[in-house]
């Protein structure tokens, strides 16, 4: 089984800058896998995602989707494989949530055509599944940040992709919503989607299980699987802070928390 | 007490400033009562000269120059921005110095220091501007035959060619007299309606630079231009529908810059039901060499031309071709062909 | 917005357009009573003569009807172009002149007026210069190897400055007695003297562009999400943006060369349309087209009847458009960022 996404020795720096954001990075995402990407601020987590879906072109190295080089794929075909939920959902115009989610069907619609009844049905189903049907007619600019993110996730699902990228999905949510989002991501994985998620909270990595990719400020990445990640020294190194990773019986899992202040 | 004194001071200031204002605009800045040559320009300012002007400049190309050629002093023209066909017969426009294009370039004027600067009298900025660099300025009116005759007479005094001026005036006056005489047999209420079209579609040639209405009336026509529009400086675009509503008996086109040509009008199915088109009364005023409707001596021949198109029966003994050629010879000292004048 | 309500809105707008056409054909400086006007419009195509004069016929068919058709076309062009530009630049405050097509067309027309070229050349110059200006605006970011919208807008500002200076030079050279008023009048917009041949020629680019924009309307929605989002959704942003800009530019250039520059329509009408039918371009395109046509037709009718001389269209659209826009912004202040 070829991996859905495979980065092979990818290096990237922004034009005009000498600093290598990504230096010789390789990793792959298999079907149904969850991958979290950890790293300190400015380590290039978003850049890694953007390279993986062809929003940025690496200076060297290659990206493959299902073994096909991404540079030879059409934009629509890339969108059939990867759905992307950005960190911020901004819209200059007040589209209804329904219309917003409908845009997820763009990867299957021809240039001079519009969505058809089949597309409408799929969007209705996705809204139902995400339990946001009540938001259908509300303008995307007038709902809360958390609701907007749910709409963005619905839109990604409407794309019917193989893998969904999340860029810091919990960053702006309240605590309760953070947990709900993580639950949602876990359930998506169970339905067969591969997930790639950048996060600044290492505890989320432990919660979700799956592979963890640690990116450092020099642009190098290391890959750990679920069993290897729950190590205090490892996680403390990332953030240059003392962290503890005790096993908490009530939670039935390892937990990553800061020491007492 | 304090308030009253402030009021008195304010009133005094207002009075003195008003008084002062009227005083400065009354005469030319270099006016001297003892000068032998004294003229009153188009806006009532007195201008004086110690001796006839040897050099003249203008930034009002196209209106003023014609007078200078008519008086036979074209060689005294030291700066102008005009470059119409007639000007090219007297100088090379590319080599002629300029003191601005309509708006006065004071520094250039100060540099050239002509004996007199000519401009339209309504343009007070230009006139006072010339005075500010110690150059005498004469403002010319363009809105009636009296204005034109006065310009010729005064300029004759200024340039010391009064005899020439008198001759030109009498020649032109004779043409006007000819028209008046012929037209006198037509009662005023039978005058045909006339409009003269300007450059843009739907525009009338009727503004402060033109003598249109006077010419039409003199020629025996009734001008359709509403009085309020006739003295404005802005464009008078009344729209085609208004022109169709008036449905004048005669339509003239001001000059060859007009967007609508005689062919356009005569061949258009939209214009076909107009009285003027049906009777073949659409004419272009000759303008190849110079404009005949713009407040300079050529308006006299322009008036005759218009009258002759309106009343061909009254002028069966007059050959306009011969007369036009003679006009340019007598008035401007030029020997031109009909092609050059633009008569077909 | 529900499909039924949308169809109802379009139907109402079509009826409104029809009514305004009838009113417009009965108004004008040429005095013709409404009954005769209507007879001329409805009966004339079928009979040769009636109780009207040849001149009456000429005025209706030769003067008023071309203006009415012209106003509908220009109103449609400007509002569609405005709506599309607003989506491409993800900014509802954008007007069709952001890339400089109107200011470039002005330079072209002014040049033609300065050279005393006949009217056809004024239109050709206006069209060419308008399109060339946009090409210049679009090429600058390419040369600088940037693909973002912001570079495009900045480039538009630079090119706008250039065209502004060019206009300044031309106006300085122009004869203030005839050339300058002509240039000024042209710039402020007028449909007087519009000929059927001009209308026919303009119908070709207009129909093509309107058709393309209608078919692309959903994709224009997608790219209004922003370059990043649109690409990850599967939209070829570059291609869609290029097609949209090209169509909008052609529409604006055509309307400018037919009627001079008329502001505010491209800015205000799309907002108005959004108030009626929501934000989706699939619904806005037909709505804005109808609203723009109705609006400009009304404006042109006012322009040629209300004063003794023809009032330039740009003045009226400004007088109505600016306060209306202020009201719209107030009304929608919660919806806009």
Share of chain A above pLDDT 70, in %: 100
Question: Which residues of C are less than 8 Å from B87 in CB distance?
Answer: none
Task: Kindly state the helix (H) or strand (E) to which residue C255 belongs, with its residue range.
Answer: helix C237-259
Return the pLDDT at B229.
Answer: 65
The answer to whether residue C261 scores a pLDDT higher than 70 is yes
Q: Torsions phi, psi of C104, nearest 5?
A: -65, -40
Question: Which residues of C are less than 8 Å from B276 in CB distance?
Answer: none
Q: Is B18 exposed, middle or buried (0-12, 13-18, 19+ CB in 10 A)?
A: exposed
The residue of chain B nearest to residue C58, with distances taken between CA atoms, is B270
Counting every residue, how long is chain A? 261
Put simply, the answer to whether C215 touches A159 (Cβ < 8 Å) is no
| Contact by Cβ (8 Å): C264, C322 | yes
Q: Closest partner residue to A96 among C91, C278, C337, by Cβ?
A: C278
Put simply, the answer to whether B257 touches C178 (Cβ < 8 Å) is yes
For residue C135, the SS3 value is: helix
Task: Kindly state the helix (H) or strand (E) to which residue A258 belongs, with its residue range.
Answer: strand A257-258
Considering chain C, what is the average pLDDT of its residues? Answer: 89
Say if A113 is an interface residue toward chain C (CB within 8 Å): yes
Domain ranges of chain C: 3-331
A139-152: average pLDDT:
91
Q: Closest partner residue to B247 among C55, C304, C309, by Cβ?
A: C55
- How far are the Cα atoms of A84, C70, C267 from residue C284, in angstroms, in the given order? 28, 21, 13
For residue A257, the SS3 value is: strand
Say if C325 is an interface residue toward chain B (CB within 8 Å): no
CB atoms within 10 A of CB B9: 10
Report the C-alpha gap between B137 and A78 in whole angstroms: 79
| Contact by Cβ (8 Å): C96, C266 | yes
Counting every residue, how long is chain B? 344
Mutate to test the interface with A, among C234, C240, C328, C329 (most CBs of A within 10 A): C234
Report the C-alpha gap between A163 and A157 in whole angstroms: 10
Return the pLDDT at B20.
Answer: 45
- Which chains have 3 or more CB–CB distances shorter than 8 Å to chain B? C
CB atoms within 10 A of CB A82: 27
Domain ranges of chain A: 1-66+162-231, 93-160
Q: How far is C214 from chain A (nearest CA, A)?
A: 9
Say if C324 is an interface residue toward chain B (CB within 8 Å): no
Mutate to test the interface with C, among A93, A114, A117, A167 (most CBs of C within 10 A): A93
pLDDT tens, position by position, A3-29? 999 999 999 998 888 888 899 999 899
What is the assigned CATH class of domain B26-160? alpha beta
Say if C232 is an interface residue toward chain B (CB within 8 Å): no
Contacts of residue C21, Cβ cutoff 8 Å, sequence gap at least 6: C68, C72, C297
Q: Start-end ranges of CATH 3.40.50.1980 in chain B?
A: 26-160, 165-341
Put simply, the answer to whether B245 touches C29 (Cβ < 8 Å) is yes
Put simply, the answer to whether C233 touches A155 (Cβ < 8 Å) is yes
pLDDT tens, position by position, B229-276? 655 555 578 888 889 999 999 999 887 777 788 988 999 989 999 999
For residue C16, the SS3 value is: helix
Q: Which letter, b or e, does each residue of C88-125 get, where b requires 16 or more Cβ atoms within 10 Å of its Cβ?
A: bbbbbebbbbbbbbbbbbbbbbbbbbbeeeebebbbeb
Put simply, the answer to whether C58 touches B271 (Cβ < 8 Å) is yes
Q: Is A251 exposed, middle or buried (0-12, 13-18, 19+ CB in 10 A)?
A: exposed
For residue B295, the SS3 value is: coil
Q: How many CB pairs lie under 8 A apart between chains B and C? A: 92
For residue C306, the SS3 value is: coil
pLDDT tens, position by position, C205-245? 999 999 999 999 999 999 989 889 999 999 999 899 999 99
Put simply, the answer to whether C280 touches A99 (Cβ < 8 Å) is yes
Q: Which among C2, C20, C27, C89 is positioned nearest to C266, based on CA atoms?
A: C89
CB atoms within 10 A of CB C132: 17
Task: Return the CATH fold of B165-341.
Answer: Rossmann fold (3.40.50)
Radius of gyration of chain C (CA): 20
Touch C-A: 3+ C-beta pairs under 8 A: yes
The answer to whether residue A46 scores a pLDDT higher than 80 is yes
Put simply, the answer to whether A75 touches C92 (Cβ < 8 Å) is no
Question: Which residues of C are less than 8 Å from A123 in CB distance?
Answer: none
Return the pLDDT at B179.
Answer: 93
Put simply, the answer to whether C233 touches A90 (Cβ < 8 Å) is no
Return the pLDDT at B11.
Answer: 74
Report the C-alpha gap between C293 and B210 in whole angstroms: 39
Mutate to test the interface with C, among B200, B207, B208, B260 (most CBs of C within 10 A): B200
Q: Which among A53, A47, A13, A11 is positioned nearest to A29, based on CA atoms?
A: A53
The answer to whether residue A159 scores a pLDDT higher than 90 is yes
Contacts of residue A195, Cβ cutoff 8 Å, sequence gap at least 6: A33, A34, A35, A163, A164, A166, A185, A188, A189, A208, A210
The residue of chain A nearest to residue C334, with distances taken between CA atoms, is A142
Put simply, the answer to whether A90 touches C282 (Cβ < 8 Å) is no
Touch B-C: 3+ C-beta pairs under 8 A: yes
Report the C-alpha gap between C298 and A63 in whole angstroms: 58
Report the C-alpha gap between C332 and C201 in whole angstroms: 39
pLDDT tens, position by position, A52-77? 999 999 999 999 999 999 999 999 99
Mutate to test the interface with C, among A106, A114, A116, A152 (most CBs of C within 10 A): A106
Question: Which residues of C are less than 8 Å from A79 in CB distance?
Answer: 231-234
What is the DSSP secondary structure assignment for residue B298, as one 8-state letter?
Answer: T
Q: Which among B34, B57, B55 is positioned nearest to B109, based on CA atoms?
A: B57
Put simply, the answer to whether C29 touches B235 (Cβ < 8 Å) is no
Return the pLDDT at C51.
Answer: 78
Put simply, the answer to whether B259 touches C55 (Cβ < 8 Å) is no
Return the pLDDT at C72.
Answer: 96
Question: Which residues of C are less than 8 Å from A83 in CB distance?
Answer: 232
CATH architecture of the region C3-331: Orthogonal Bundle (1.10)
Return the pLDDT at A239.
Answer: 86
Report the C-alpha gap between B250 and B229 in whole angstroms: 19
Share of chain C above pLDDT 70, in %: 98
Say if A5 is an interface residue toward chain C (CB within 8 Å): no
Assess if CATH 3.40.50.1580 describes domain A1-66+162-231. no
pLDDT tens, position by position, C188-206? 888 888 889 889 999 999 9
Question: Which residues of C are less than 8 Å from B226 in CB distance?
Answer: 308
Say if C222 is an interface residue toward chain A (CB within 8 Å): yes
C77-84: average pLDDT:
94
Say if C91 is an interface residue toward chain A (CB within 8 Å): yes
Unique residue bearing structure tokens 């085609």 = B240
pLDDT tens, position by position, A116-126? 999 999 999 99
Return the pLDDT at B12.
Answer: 67
Report the C-alpha gap between B63 and B68 in whole angstroms: 10
Q: How many CA atoms lie within 13 A of B272 on its CB side?
A: 10
- Which chains have 3 or more CB–CB distances shorter than 8 Å to chain A? C
Return the pLDDT at B22.
Answer: 41
Q: Torsions phi, psi of A251, nearest 5?
A: -85, -10
Put simply, the answer to whether A94 touches C337 (Cβ < 8 Å) is no
For residue A34, the SS3 value is: strand
Q: Which among B175, C188, C325, C279 is positioned nearest to A142, based on CA atoms?
A: C279
What residues of chain C, 90 to 119, have a C-beta less than 8 Å from chain B?
Answer: 116, 118-119
Touch B-A: 3+ C-beta pairs under 8 A: no
The answer to whether residue C181 scores a pLDDT higher than 70 is yes
Q: Which among C58, C242, A186 is positioned nearest to B272, based on CA atoms?
A: C58
For residue A9, the SS3 value is: strand
Task: Kindly state the helix (H) or strand (E) to which residue A68 belongs, with its residue range.
Answer: strand A68-69
Return the pLDDT at B21.
Answer: 45
> Would you place residue A35 in the very low, low, confident or very high pLDDT band (cuts 50, 70, 90)?
very high
Return the pLDDT at A92.
Answer: 80
Show the low-confidence residues of chain B (pLDDT under 70): 1, 10, 12-25, 62, 206-210, 227-235, 344
Put simply, the answer to whether A139 touches C335 (Cβ < 8 Å) is yes
Contacts of residue C216, Cβ cutoff 8 Å, sequence gap at least 6: A111, A112, C240, C243, C244, C247
Say if A78 is an interface residue toward chain C (CB within 8 Å): yes
Distance of alpha carbon B245 from its chain centroid, rounded?
29
Unique residue bearing structure tokens 């505890």 = A203
What is the DSSP secondary structure assignment for residue A43, as one 8-state letter?
Answer: S
């Amino acid at each position: 089984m070829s991996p859905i996404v495979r980065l092979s020795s990818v290096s990237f720096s922004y034009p005009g800058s000498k600093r290598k954001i990504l230096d010789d990075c390789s990793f792959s995402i298999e079907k149904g896998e969850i991958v979290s990407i950890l790293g300190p601020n400015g380590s290039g987590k978003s850049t890694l995602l953007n390279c993986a879906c062809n929003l940025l072109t690496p200076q060297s190295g290659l990206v493959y989707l299902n073994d096909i080089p991404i540079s030879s794929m059409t934009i629509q075909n890339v969108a059939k494989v990867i759905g992307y939920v950005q960190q911020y959902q901004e819209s200059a115009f007040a589209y209804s949530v329904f219309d917003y989610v409908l845009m997820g069907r763009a990867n299957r619609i021809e240039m001079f055509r519009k969505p058809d009844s089949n597309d409408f049905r799929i969007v209705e189903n996705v809204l139902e599944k995400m339990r946001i049907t009540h938001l259908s007619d509300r303008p995307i600019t007038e709902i809360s940040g958390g609701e907007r993110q749910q709409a963005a996730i619905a839109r990604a699902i409407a794309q019917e992709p193989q893998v969904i990228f999340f860029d810091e999905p919990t960053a702006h949510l309240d605590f309760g919503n953070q947990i709900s989002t993580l639950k949602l991501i876990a359930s998506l994985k169970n339905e067969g989607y591969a997930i790639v998620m950048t996060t600044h909270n290492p505890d989320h990595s432990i919660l979700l299980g799956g592979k963890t990719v640690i990116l450092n400020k020099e642009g190098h990445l290391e890959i750990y699987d679920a069993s290897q990640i729950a190590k205090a020294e490892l996680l403390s190194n990332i953030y240059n802070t003392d962290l503890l990773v005790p096993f908490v019986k009530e939670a039935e899992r390892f937990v990553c928390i800061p020491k007492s202040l | 007490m304090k308030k009253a004194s402030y009021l008195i001071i304010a009133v005094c200031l207002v009075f003195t400033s008003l008084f002062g204002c009227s005083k400065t605009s009354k005469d030319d800045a270099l006016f001297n009562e003892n000068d032998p040559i004294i003229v009153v320009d188009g806006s009532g300012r007195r201008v004086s000269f110690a001796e006839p002007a040897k050099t003249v400049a203008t930034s009002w190309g196209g209106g003023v120059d014609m007078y200078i050629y008519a008086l036979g002093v074209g060689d005294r023209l030291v700066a102008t921005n005009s470059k119409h066909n007639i000007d090219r017969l007297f100088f090379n426009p590319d080599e002629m110095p300029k003191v601005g294009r309509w708006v006065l370039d004071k520094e250039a004027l100060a540099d050239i220091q002509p004996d007199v600067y000519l401009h339209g009298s309504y343009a007070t900025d230009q006139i006072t501007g010339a005075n500010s660099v110690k150059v005498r300025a004469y403002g010319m009116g363009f809105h009636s035959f009296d204005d034109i005759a006065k310009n010729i007479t005064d300029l004759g005094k200024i340039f010391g060619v009064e005899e020439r001026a008198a001759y030109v005036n009498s020649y032109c006056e004779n043409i006007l007299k000819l028209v008046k005489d012929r037209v006198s047999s037509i009662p005023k209420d039978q005058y045909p309606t006339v409009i003269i079209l300007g450059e843009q579609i739907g525009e009338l040639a009727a503004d402060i630079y033109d003598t249109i209405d006077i010419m039409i009336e003199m020629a025996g026509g009734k001008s359709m231009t509403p009085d309020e529009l006739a003295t404005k400086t802005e464009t008078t675009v009344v729209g085609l529908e208004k022109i169709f509503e008036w449905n004048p008996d005669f339509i003239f086109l001001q000059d060859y810059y007009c967007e609508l040509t005689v062919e356009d009008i005569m061949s258009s199915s939209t214009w076909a039901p107009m009285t003027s088109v049906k009777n073949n009364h659409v004419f272009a005023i000759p303008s190849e060499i110079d404009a005949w409707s713009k407040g300079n001596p050529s308006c006299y021949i322009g008036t005759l031309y218009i009258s002759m198109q309106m009343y061909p029966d009254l002028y069966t003994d007059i050959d306009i071709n011969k007369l036009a050629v003679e006009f340019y010879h007598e008035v401007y000292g030029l020997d031109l062909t009909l092609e050059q004048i633009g008569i077909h | 917005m529900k499909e039924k309500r949308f169809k109802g809105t379009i139907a109402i707008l079509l009826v409104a357009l029809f009514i305004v056409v009838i009113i417009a054909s009965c108004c004008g400086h040429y005095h013709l009573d409404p009954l005769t006007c209507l007879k001329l419009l409805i009966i004339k195509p079928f009979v040769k003569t009636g109780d009207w004069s040849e001149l009456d016929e000429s005025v209706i068919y030769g003067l008023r009807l071309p203006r009415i058709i012209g106003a509908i076309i220009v109103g449609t062009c400007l509002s569609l172009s405005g709506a599309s530009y607003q989506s491409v630049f993800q900014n509802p405050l954008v007007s069709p002149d952001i890339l400089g097509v109107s200011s470039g067309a002005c330079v072209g027309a002014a040049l033609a007026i300065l050279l005393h070229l006949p009217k056809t050349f004024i239109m050709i110059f206006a069209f060419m210069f308008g399109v060339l200006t946009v090409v210049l605006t679009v090429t600058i970011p390419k040369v600088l190897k940037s693909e973002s919208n912001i570079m495009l807008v900045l480039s538009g500002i630079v090119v706008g400055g250039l065209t502004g200076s060019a206009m300044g030079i031309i106006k300085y050279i122009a004869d203030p007695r005839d050339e300058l008023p002509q240039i000024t009048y042209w710039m402020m917009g007028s449909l007087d003297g519009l000929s059927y041949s001009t209308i026919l020629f303009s119908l070709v680019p207009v129909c093509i562009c309107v058709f393309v924009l209608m078919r692309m309307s959903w994709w224009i929605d997608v790219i209004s999400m922003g370059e990043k989002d649109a690409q990850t959704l599967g939209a070829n942003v570059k291609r869609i943006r290029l097609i949209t800009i090209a169509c909008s530019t052609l529409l604006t250039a055509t309307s400018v060369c037919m009627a001079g520059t008329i502001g505010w329509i491209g800015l205000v009408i799309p907002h108005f349309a959004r108030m009626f039918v929501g934000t989706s371009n699939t619904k806005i395109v037909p709505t804005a087209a109808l609203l723009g046509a109705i609006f400009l037709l009304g404006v042109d009718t006012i322009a040629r009847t209300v004063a003794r001389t023809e009032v330039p269209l740009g003045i009226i659209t400004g007088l109505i458009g600016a306060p209306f826009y202020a009201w719209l912004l107030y009304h929608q202040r919660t919806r806009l960022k």
